[in-house]
Structures are given as structure tokens and as C-alpha cells.
Structure 1
């Protein structure tokens, strides 16, 4: 049933090419069919699929020379560039575990993570040499290898790897806020990769501009590996300051974005025309945080398709996707195949081929994360409608317990508020009014473009009326008691989610 839903959007010939891949060895064999096609464009350097294979084999050769065993952890520390691509693919195809280290790490953090994940080798980009040199002082047993072209190639990749062997470790805060390493098997990784193609009319031969870090599971799977799986071209973006120059040069047909970038791109496209995004853009996929229905509806007026999805690091990114958008614009779509789910006290539990093996060397967190039947507790509060469309209504860890014992999901209320076209983003939290009574407060960030179009006189009065309309759709204990209109954006995480402050009242 799940696959049938997505299959309706793709013709039979194309769908038949979406083969199931279970290991990185199979993935590299799959890529051989693309040979002379351009795989990666890194600044002005163009790398075809044949060259990519050769460079990955060079990485594998270095691992063998350094006596790295199969399934041992190997660090990859690079910018969002070709060095990352060849080092991570070469490591996984060799049969070791690519441990993806964000390039924003300082030397101290690099040292700590190298020890935590028992790294024997760390591949690094020359541009990060200063941090590496500092970290080396405290890591005498770790071999740091600069990524370059001046080495031999291994004869072939490891054929003996199994689908359930670990392929990579992606760092995540998970569902408890503590930094952890999600271990993804080859099977999970490439289930996620294939999921990324489902529901697309034209998955093959696309042009991507990578705007999400490859160390983030969304960037790794949907913006890099899915692109390679479909014989597409990925233009890397090591320096986000050059993003719009890159868009102009690359002329992407598809972009994979977080909601904050979608908001920015939509504003620019409405102000200056879609040509500002390269001139050939057809598809935008958004995820990583809540996507406002306004963005979905408005973007679909400008390009062929804009849709939102939902996933987690622990689920190899992709759990569901809305291939029907703009239909049910508030939904994150239907579940991808090869998963099972259940809803326990409103929380989504999942298991399936795309699920991680567990958190690296962390039995305590693993015990918390899985139930006795092997389902992963996502921490997301959800509902599923009569047609099988999934809606995210909140997070278990963000639930506000009011003095009367009522539970409130701020994310659910925020999603209702964000349906207002004038609201770009919102934040709901508890506070006390002048009488000492606990109330819910909504901070609102207006969408400037809509504000200009509407020519509103008294903004605060207008928004208070809009919030009162929202209140009528909420239960009494969920209603907003105070509205604050922001003039500046909210503080955000590196993945552009709003930082939800810890409050004591």
C-alpha cells in the first residue's frame, strides 16, 4: 500500500530503475552505469562518476595501508565539498564505518569525538588543517590523513560486507538532547536513499546545489547519495556566502532545503522572479523542521513541485513524504515503504529497514530509545488521517504541563498559528501574567513580504485578532493569553530550527 501511493507519480519505466540497494559495494557498482556523466562540481572542478570511483578507491587504499579493519570507525572531517564525498564513500565502500564530523567543530571537540568514537584514522581537508594540527597534540594514536590525489588505488572494494553491517555514524542530539552517534547500517542508508526518489516524476539526471551540510542526515542522504543514485549532478557549496553565485552558475533543477531557507528562497522568488534561483528550478523538497503550509502553497504557484517530508537521523532521514502537495499542505505526507509504525499515547514509534542499529557505545540511551518490540520512540507527537497522511503535532520533551494538570503541545499551537499567511514563525511558551496566573504566550515573527502587501495599519491589533481566531479552534487550556510581535528573527540552531529556551516561572 505504501509503495503504491508513491508509484502513481512516476511512470513505470522510470520506477523500474529505482532498484533496491543493500550495501555500499552494490551502490558503487550501481554508479558505474553513469561513467562519463558529471557527478560532482566543486567550485570549477568537475568530477565524473568514473573519477569518483577511482578517488574512492584511493581512500580505500589508504585505509588498507594503515591496517584499518573492516567495521572500524574512520573519521571524515571536511567542508561541504568533494573531499567529503570521496572520503566518506571510499570509507564505506572499503567496509569501514564513516564517522561524519561537522566541519564547525573546534580542535577540542574534534579531540573529544575522536576518542569517543575510537577513531583509528581521520581523513581531513587541507582547509581544516589548523584545527587538525591542534587536535593531533592529544591524539598520538590517531592517524590524520590529508585528502589528496597523490596515492595509489585499491584493486576493488569489499565484496564481503553485509547489509546489516554499520556503514556510517551520524551525530545527532536524538530525542533527549544529549549528543549521540546514530549508527546506520548499509541497508538503512540505501533504504533512505531510495525513499528519496519515491513520488518524484523525474528522479534521474537532475542538477542539485547542496545547501545542507553532508554531515546532517538530510544533506547526506537526500542531497548527496540520492542524487548520485539517480545519475544526477551535485554542485557543492563549501562557502554559503557564494550560494547565489553558485545557483546562477549551476542552474539547479532541484533543491533540498530546511524551512528557513525555503522561506528565504520563496521571498526572493516572489520579489525578483524564480530566475534568482538559477532559472531552471522545478522541484524543492523541504524538511528538517516544521514547514508552514503557506510556504507549500505559495511555492507551488511558482514551480512544478514543492513538498515537505519528515524524518530523523535515526531513521536514515526519510519516514514520510507528501508527494501530493499542495494537497494537504499541512501534512508531511504518507509513510515510505518497508516500515511499521504504531502510536503510543500520541507518540510515533517506528521500525523498519531504514532504522539505525542504535547509538554508538551507549546502552543507556539505546534502552530508552527502543521499546520491547524493537520500535524506536521518535519523540514526535502525531496523528494520521483517514487517508493515511501523517501530521506532526508536537514533541514529547516540549510538552508544557499547566498548574491544572493539563498538557499542552506548543508545536501543535505553533503549527496552527503558522497557518496565518502573515506569520513566518512563532514560539509558544508559558509565563505568568500580572496577577501571577500561568498563561500561554505566543511570540510572532511577521512575514515582511505579506506585511507589505497587506498594508496593515496597527500590526499588533491585527495579529491579536488573528490569534483570537486561532484560539477559537483550540481547547480552552491551549489558548494564547498574550501576544508578542518580534522585530528580529528568533535565535536558531545550525539546522535553522528555533532555539526553544528553558524557562522557569
Structure 2
């Protein structure tokens, strides 16, 4: 966590307008954004955001209108998000891989009034009707001040729900978004103006936006943009990041590159990896800990402005998602984690039924995650309610609990337990994706034999009703969500 004397400098600001105005002055001369060729400081960033606000104001849209950003993780995209929200409009980052008809459908579903588009993506917007389509590079010569904004008014809409169903639009108020940004200050390793980050995760994902970008502005650190993930990873020796905010899938890629090219591939300055959005296999913690890189992972969800808990004690408690951030209430109801606080979302856009299912009348968010706390207050996830397998005898089985021992094995990259059928009866099945570097070129028959033996070993620890009967060893990767989670659809 950031030292107390520095933390005292950082106020909790309830709106994006106040946030932009504050960091522009507080960190004026410090480097803010860079594409590895050109770098701008915080004062320059603030002026560019003000010029983009002036351009947006010139569109004549009513305050509160929804404005989409369809770009990669560029300087344009970051400035536009800051400008849209600080001008009193509602921002929505579209995933850069969104296909043409999904763009049309999303603009209709979320009442998009204008969309800023990267030049190469312009052909995908040809079928839009009633939406102002504008170049992402649009900027005015004059400046416009930040708007006076009600903290409870919407700031942004995020796509969510992609692992098990159709995406919804989670609405975060200014207060909720800013609580998420502020909670990022509590992450381990935070120091004012010292670190170099890379905005490598999609800005359309709340983890990438808050933990990987906006939270970094709160502590005056430098952020490298990332318009091409593969190219950016190849530049790590030059960029020399000190902190990486990534998902386990990228950790896997980096561990393989380190094995090929040596630790110097990481740039020689990396101090910490903050990983989230999916399970972090213990083997990854071990690999990077041996390289002198601290590992921090935690738990969050879009509906809770991303940051709910963090674990800076990954070596001693590798299966915990850490301790809950300040400013939240938590309780466990029938095994499910409920949270309440400024960070909780306002609801799903134009979906009162799903909103009512997620939020209680008195403001508690039902996370859908099954958890328990240990005696030291560390939080552990045991599964997702909607993933539960209901056995023929009526017993509920959490697939995540059964997957845990497989993730602990260094030869397993990913695993997914599910319900299936075998010889006309309901069974528990597993699909395993091997971590092939661990097998060092051994024949596939040996890989399959190892995995089948591992299933047998795990089954020996399980009750008869929980036995894994059907085993598939995958030769191809799982279908994944935008945040690289294994999709259960």
C-alpha cells in the first residue's frame, strides 16, 4: 500500500470532473501518457482533455447523452473517456473486436447518441443510423471546463456477463467509478510518480480501465498506451515497466517468453504483477516470485466497480483473494457474498428484472459468488451460484472447487469442470488444457496419461458422488471472454 504520508495527499473525489481537474494540477509536470515515442505530462493531458470536452460540447447533445468509444488502448481512447465523463456525458467503451452487427445492436440497445471511432474501424460503422460517427482523433482548438456533476448521475456503462450469458450494460455512477479509482490507491506497491504501467488490458473491461489506467492517474504514474498487445509485449525490454496489471493468460505468455529469452525480457525493472479477472495458478506465482517479482491478485466485479479485495500475501495464502478494501460492507448470506458501498453499481441499463435480481431494495449487491472468510479475514471463493451442478440426489457441487487441485498442478494451464452425460446418465466431466512447456516435448500419449493419472489422484480425495467420470485433454485453447477467462457457454 502507498505510504501514509503520500496517501494523505490523495483525496477521495466523487466525480470524474473533479478527478481530472485535480490530477492536472497535482502532478502537472510529471509524465502521464506515452506511446513509447511521444510523452505528455499531466498538465498537457488536462489541456488535451479540455479541448476534447470543447469538441464534444460542440456536438449539441443533451447532458447525460451516451457516447461510445470504439478504439484500441490508444491515447485518443483514454483522453476521450476522461473528456466524455468529465463533461457530464455517459461513456461506453466498445471492445475493439466487436463485429459490425454487434456495433449496430449495441448502439441501439444502449441508446448511443455519438460514437468516436478509430480510423481503421470506420468501415464497421457504415450501417449505423441516427448516431453521430466521429473520428477518435477529434479535438477542438479551444478548451471547455469540467462540468458540475451530480455524483449519483451515470458516468459509464460497461459490458458485463460474458462468461455465462448475453452481455448486459452495468451502469456505474460517478461516485461508484471514482470509488473504484480511489480503491486502486490501496493496491500494494503504489507510490506517487515512481511507476511505469502499460494499459495492456481492454479499456472496455472494468479491470483494465480502473486498475490498469484510471487508478494509476490517482498516484501520478506514467502509463504506456497499448494499441497492439503482441507488439507491446515485444517492447517490454525497452519500456521497462515496473508494474503490470494483467490477467493470468498474459502471465502464462510472459512466463513462456522468460523461459525462452531469460528474465531480461521483462525489462529489468518489473517489481509487481497485479493479476485478476480469472484464477491465478500457483505455478505462476512461484515462477515470478523466483524472479523477484511480487504477485498481487484479488477479486472484483463490474457491478462493484472492479476492486473488492486484494491479496498482497500471495506466497503464504495463494488461494485467497485477499482482504476487503475499505469503504465497503460485506456479509455472507447462504454462502453468497453480498457487498454494499459507494462502489456498487446503479443497475443494468433498461433491465429492471436483472437489476432486481442483483440488487436488494436496501442496496446490497448479490455477487453470485460463494465464499468464506478465514480467521484472519482473508476471503476465499469456492464457486459461482449459477455454475453449480445439481446432482441426481439433489446435492449441489461447485465446479470451481473441483477445479482447484488441477490449477495447483504445474502441468495444467486451465481446467473446466461441467455436467455431462455418459452411458445415458448424468456425470461430472472435466476438460483440461495442459501447460505444454512443462512436458518439454514429450509425446502426446504421455501428456494424456499424466492428466488421466491426475484425475485419478484427485478422485481419490473426493466423495463417491463427486467423482470426475469423463475426461477430455484439450489440444486447443478454450473459448475465452474478452478478459481471457474460460467461457462456460
Q: Could you tell me which residue of structure 1 aligns to residue 353 of structure 2?
A: 364
1:179-228 CA distances to partner (integer Å, 9 max, x unpaired)?
A: 21111111111211122221423433211112211111111101110111
1:399-424 CA distances to partner (integer Å, 9 max, x unpaired)?
A: 11122222111111112221122212
Are residue 107 (structure 1) and residue 96 (structure 2) matched? no
Q: Cα RMSD over matched residues?
A: 2.3
- CA gap of 1:408–1:43, structure 2 versus 1, over 3 A, is same
Q: Is the 1:296–1:308 contact (alpha carbons within 8 Å) kept by the matching residues of 2?
A: no
- CA gap of 1:443–1:108, structure 2 versus 1, over 3 A, is closer
Q: Could you tell me which residue of structure 1 aligns to residue 161 of structure 2?
A: 173
Which moves more between the two structures, 270-279 or 233-242? Answer: 270-279
Q: Is the 1:107–1:131 contact (alpha carbons within 8 Å) kept by the matching residues of 2?
A: yes
The 2-side partners of 1:148 and 1:481 are apart by 55
Q: Give the C-alpha shift of residue 89 in structure 1.
A: 0.4
Q: Is the 2:90–2:157 contact (alpha carbons within 8 Å) kept by the matching residues of 1?
A: yes
- CA gap of 1:445–1:150, structure 2 versus 1, over 3 A, is closer
Q: How many pairs does the alignment contain?
A: 487
Q: Is the 2:242–2:272 contact (alpha carbons within 8 Å) kept by the matching residues of 1?
A: yes
Are residue 421 (structure 1) and residue 410 (structure 2) matched? yes
1:293-314 CA distances to partner (integer Å, 9 max, x unpaired)?
A: 2222332221331121111111
Which moves more between the two structures, 420-429 or 483-492? Answer: 483-492
Q: Give the C-alpha shift of residue 147 in structure 1.
A: 3.1
**1:159-308 equivalences in 2 (<5 Å):** 160-173=148-161, 177-205=165-193, 206-308=195-297
Determine which of 20, 25, 34 is the counterpart of 2:17.
25
Which moves more between the two structures, 147-156 or 298-307? Answer: 147-156
Are residue 80 (structure 1) and residue 80 (structure 2) matched? no
Q: Give the C-alpha shift of residue 330 in structure 1.
A: 0.7
The 2-side partners of 1:268 and 1:253 are apart by 17
Are residue 485 (structure 1) and residue 477 (structure 2) matched? no
Which moves more between the two structures, 221-230 or 338-347? Answer: 338-347
Q: Could you tell me which residue of structure 2 aligns to residue 5 of structure 1?
A: none
Q: Could you tell me which residue of structure 2 aligns to residue 468 of structure 1?
A: 456
Q: Is the 2:429–2:471 contact (alpha carbons within 8 Å) kept by the matching residues of 1?
A: yes
The 1-side partners of 2:310 and 2:135 are apart by 38
Are residue 386 (structure 1) and residue 379 (structure 2) matched? no
Q: Could you tell me which residue of structure 1 aligns to residue 329 of structure 2?
A: 340
SS at match of 2:296: strand
Q: Could you tell me which residue of structure 1 aligns to residue 4 of structure 2?
A: 12
Q: Could you tell me which residue of structure 2 aligns to residue 430 of structure 1?
A: 419
The 2-side partners of 1:333 and 1:104 are apart by 32
* Structure 2 runs not aligned, ≥5 long: none
Q: Give the C-alpha shift of residue 458 in structure 1.
A: 4.0
The 2-side partners of 1:211 and 1:88 are apart by 16
Q: Could you tell me which residue of structure 2 aligns to residue 445 of structure 1?
A: 433
Determine which of 383, 397, 411 is the counterpart of 1:408.
397
The 2-side partners of 1:217 and 1:104 are apart by 16
Q: Could you tell me which residue of structure 1 aligns to residue 127 of structure 2?
A: 135
SS at match of 2:440: helix
- CA gap of 1:95–1:38, structure 2 versus 1, over 3 A, is same
The 2-side partners of 1:201 and 1:79 are apart by 27
Q: Is the 2:185–2:218 contact (alpha carbons within 8 Å) kept by the matching residues of 1?
A: no
SS at match of 1:167: strand
- CA gap of 1:443–1:175, structure 2 versus 1, over 3 A, is closer
* Structure 1 runs not aligned, ≥5 long: 1-8
Q: Is the 2:297–2:310 contact (alpha carbons within 8 Å) kept by the matching residues of 1?
A: yes
Determine which of 78, 86, 96 is the counterpart of 1:93.
86
Q: Could you tell me which residue of structure 2 aligns to residue 3 of structure 1?
A: none
- CA gap of 1:300–1:146, structure 2 versus 1, over 3 A, is same
SS at match of 2:115: strand
Q: TM-score, normalised by structure 2?
A: 0.93
Q: Is the 1:75–1:100 contact (alpha carbons within 8 Å) kept by the matching residues of 2?
A: yes
SS at match of 1:328: coil
Q: Give the C-alpha shift of residue 149 in structure 1.
A: 5.7
Q: Could you tell me which residue of structure 2 aligns to residue 49 of structure 1?
A: 42
- CA gap of 1:102–1:433, structure 2 versus 1, over 3 A, is closer
Q: Is the 2:91–2:155 contact (alpha carbons within 8 Å) kept by the matching residues of 1?
A: yes
Q: Give the C-alpha shift of residue 489 in structure 1.
A: 2.3
Are residue 495 (structure 1) and residue 487 (structure 2) matched? no
The 2-side partners of 1:332 and 1:442 are apart by 24
1:332-390 CA distances to partner (integer Å, 9 max, x unpaired)?
A: 11111111122222222212111111111221211111123321121212222111111
Q: Give the C-alpha shift of residue 41 in structure 1.
A: 1.3
Q: Could you tell me which residue of structure 2 aligns to residue 318 of structure 1?
A: 307
Q: Give the C-alpha shift of residue 285 in structure 1.
A: 0.6
Q: Is the 2:51–2:144 contact (alpha carbons within 8 Å) kept by the matching residues of 1?
A: no
Q: Is the 2:66–2:112 contact (alpha carbons within 8 Å) kept by the matching residues of 1?
A: yes
SS at match of 1:164: coil
Q: TM-score, normalised by structure 1?
A: 0.90
Q: Give the C-alpha shift of residue 176 in structure 1.
A: 6.5
Q: Could you tell me which residue of structure 2 aligns to residue 64 of structure 1?
A: 57
